Amino acid sequence: MNEIYCQGCGAEIQTSHPEQPGYAPPSALEREDVICKRCFRLKHYNEVQDVPYNADDFLEMLHQISDTKGLIIQLVDIFDFNGSFISGLKRLTGNNPVILVGNKMDVLPKSVNHEKVKHWLKRSAKEQGLIVEDVFLISAEKNQGITNLSQAMDQYRKGGDVYVVGTTNVGKSTFINTLISNTSGEKDAITTSYFPGTTLGFIDIPLDENSSLFDTPGVIQRHQMAHYVSEQDLKVITPRREVKPKIYQLNEAQTLYFGGLARLDFESGSRTSFVCYFSNELHIHRTKLEKADDLYQNHLGELLVPPDSRTMEKLPPLKKQTFRIKEDKTDIVFSGLGWITVPEGHINVTVHVPEGVKVSLRESLI
Ligand code: GDP
Q: Look at ligand 1, atom 17, and give the residue with the nearest C-alpha.
A: 171
Residue 220 CA to ligand 1 centre (angstroms): 15
Ligand 1 binding pocket mutation candidate from 174, 200, 279 (most atoms within 8 A of CB): 174
N residues, the chain:
366
Whether 170 is in the pocket of ligand 1, judged by its Cβ within 6 Å, is yes
Q: Look at ligand 1, atom 13, and give the residue with the nearest C-alpha.
A: 194
- The pLDDT confidence band at residue 54, using thresholds 50, 70 and 90, is low
Tell me the pLDDT of the chain averaged across its residues.
Answer: 87
Whether 226 is in the pocket of ligand 1, judged by its Cβ within 6 Å, is no
Q: What is the reported pLDDT for 157?
A: 93
Secondary structure of 119-177 in HEC code, one letter for each residue: HHHHHHHHHCCCCCCEEEECECCCCECHHHHHHHHHHHHCCCEEEEECECCCCHHHHHH
* DSSP tag of 18: T
Average pLDDT over residues 126-138: 95
Residue 280 has pLDDT above 50, yes or no: yes
Closest atom of ligand 1 relative to the 107 alpha carbon: 26
Average pLDDT over residues 30-44: 77
Residue 285 CA to ligand 1 centre (angstroms): 28
How far is residue 362's CA from residue 353's CA, in Å, rounded to a whole number? 18
Q: What is the reported pLDDT for 202?
A: 62
Whether 193 is in the pocket of ligand 1, judged by its Cβ within 6 Å, is yes
Whether 191 is in the pocket of ligand 1, judged by its Cβ within 6 Å, is no
Q: What is the reported pLDDT for 42?
A: 62
- Domains of the chain as residue ranges with CATH: 1-50 (no CATH), 55-221 (3.40.50.300), 235-363 (no CATH)
Cβ atoms < 10 Å from Cβ of 202: 18
Q: What is the reported pLDDT for 49?
A: 52
Residue 245 CA to ligand 1 centre (angstroms): 22
Residue 145 has pLDDT above 90, yes or no: yes
Give pLDDT tens digits for 206-244.
Answer: 788 888 888 776 776 767 787 789 989 999 999 999 999
Residue 266 CA to ligand 1 centre (angstroms): 34
Whether 107 is in the pocket of ligand 1, judged by its Cβ within 6 Å, is yes
Q: Look at ligand 1, atom 12, and give the residue with the nearest C-alpha.
A: 171
Give pLDDT tens digits for 294-340.
Answer: 999 999 999 999 999 999 998 899 999 999 999 999 999 999 999 99
Residue 291, CA distances (Å) to 50, 168, 249, 286 in order:
39, 38, 18, 10
Residue 194 CA to ligand 1 centre (angstroms): 7
Average pLDDT over residues 99-105: 98
Cβ atoms < 10 Å from Cβ of 26: 8
Whether 192 is in the pocket of ligand 1, judged by its Cβ within 6 Å, is yes
Residue 249 has pLDDT above 60, yes or no: yes
Residue 15 CA to ligand 1 centre (angstroms): 29
- 8 Å CB contact between 275 and 305: no
Ligand 1 binding pocket mutation candidate from 77, 192, 220, 277 (most atoms within 8 A of CB): 192
Q: What pTM does this model have? A: 0.84
Whether 167 is in the pocket of ligand 1, judged by its Cβ within 6 Å, is no
Which residues are CB-neighbours of 52 under 8 A, at least 6 positions away?
19, 20
**Angle, vertex CA 137, rays to CA 220 and CA 72, nearest 5:** 55
Give pLDDT tens digits for 170-202.
Answer: 888 889 888 877 876 655 555 444 434 444 456
Q: Which residue has the higher pLDDT, 218 or 264?
A: 264
Q: What is the reported pLDDT for 193?
A: 43
Residue 121 CA to ligand 1 centre (angstroms): 19
Residue 172 CA to ligand 1 centre (angstroms): 7
Residue 153 has pLDDT above 60, yes or no: yes
Whether 171 is in the pocket of ligand 1, judged by its Cβ within 6 Å, is yes
Q: Look at ligand 1, atom 19, and give the residue with the nearest C-alpha.
A: 171
